[in-house]
Amino acid sequence: MTKDTVFSTKITLNANGKILDLSQPIVMGILNITPDSFYEGSRISNHDEILAKARQMLIDGASILDIGGYSSRPGADDITIQEEIDRVTGPIEAIASHYPNAIISIDTFRSEVVQAAVEAGAHIINDISGGTIDDKMFDTVAQLRVPYIMMHMKGTPQTMVQLNQYEDLVYDIMDFFTKRINKLKSLGVNDIILDPGFGFAKHIDQNFELLRRLDEFKILELPLLIGVSRKSMIYKTLHIKPAEALNGTTVLNTISLNKGAHILRVHDVKEAMETIKLHKKIYPNEH
């Protein structure tokens, strides 16, 4: 976003005592503590592997490490709240202990998992449901006073594929965000990041429409997180596998930056950081 825009986006967040500066785009690295994430290369399980991957992401330039214990791929198996807590709290504690300067986000739509994760050392909540699945989520966010990433989705990971009907895709997502933002702000939550939810209750053509119209979300004056890394909109369009979708990810991340993205959520931190650095050389005054 150019500095002379009529829209003024909030660019600093208080991440549980750590200040997150979004005046320039940053990278969020994905750490999936799950056995069935859609991209096999992102799955990690044992303690040493988690710490090693976290360390490399931090070296490569990640500003946030996003830890998730519930696979949200279409049709993924449901797991219990306790199993999700058991998956994520140990890795969060380990990363917080070994890398105390790291900012950790918890990728979950369950308030009980949020509570346990923040107690273990997480700083940000990343909720794929935008608070629609767990009606205690917004109260929990307000109580914990940590930044909240609100993603757009309809239904659940098990049902979202069938729920991709919209009157106007971007308008409907904006309407969703506006209502949810107002509810959060009424509870005193102001550190909010928006994620339009690529691949969640949206078919491939809708994902590309969403990317094409991404700059329309600037009117909401909140930071945008974009997560297209190795997703089906890339590998199905190109008739390749997720493992071969890094080049396509870089292309779509570049377009996202052109349209105002503040955070790139990725599996491949080094390449995303290179994308940001090259983009900044071309557009030094943006954001």
Cα(148)–Cα(222) distance, integer angstroms: 11
Residue type, 107: D
Residues 124, 121: Cα–Cα separation, whole Å? 10
Closest CA to 43 of 262, 259, 250, 242: 242
Separation CA 267–CA 30 (nearest Å): 5
Q: Pairing between strand 148-151 and 263-266?
A: unpaired
Taking CA atoms, 232 is separated from 96, 101, 140, 195, 246, in Å, by 32, 33, 32, 17, 12
Cβ-proximal residues to 283 (8 Å cutoff; 6+ apart), any chain: 258
Closest of 28, 20, 21 to residue 256, by C-alpha: 28
Q: Report whether 122 contacts 104 (CB < 8 A).
A: yes
Integer Rg of the chain from CA: 17
* Residue 138, token pair as written in the block: 């917004």
- Residue 144 φ/ψ, nearest 5 degrees: -80, -20
* Residues involved in catalysis: 231, 265
Give the C-alpha separation, 152 to 127, whole Å.
Answer: 9
Three-state SS for 190-207 is CCEEEECCCCCCCCHHHH
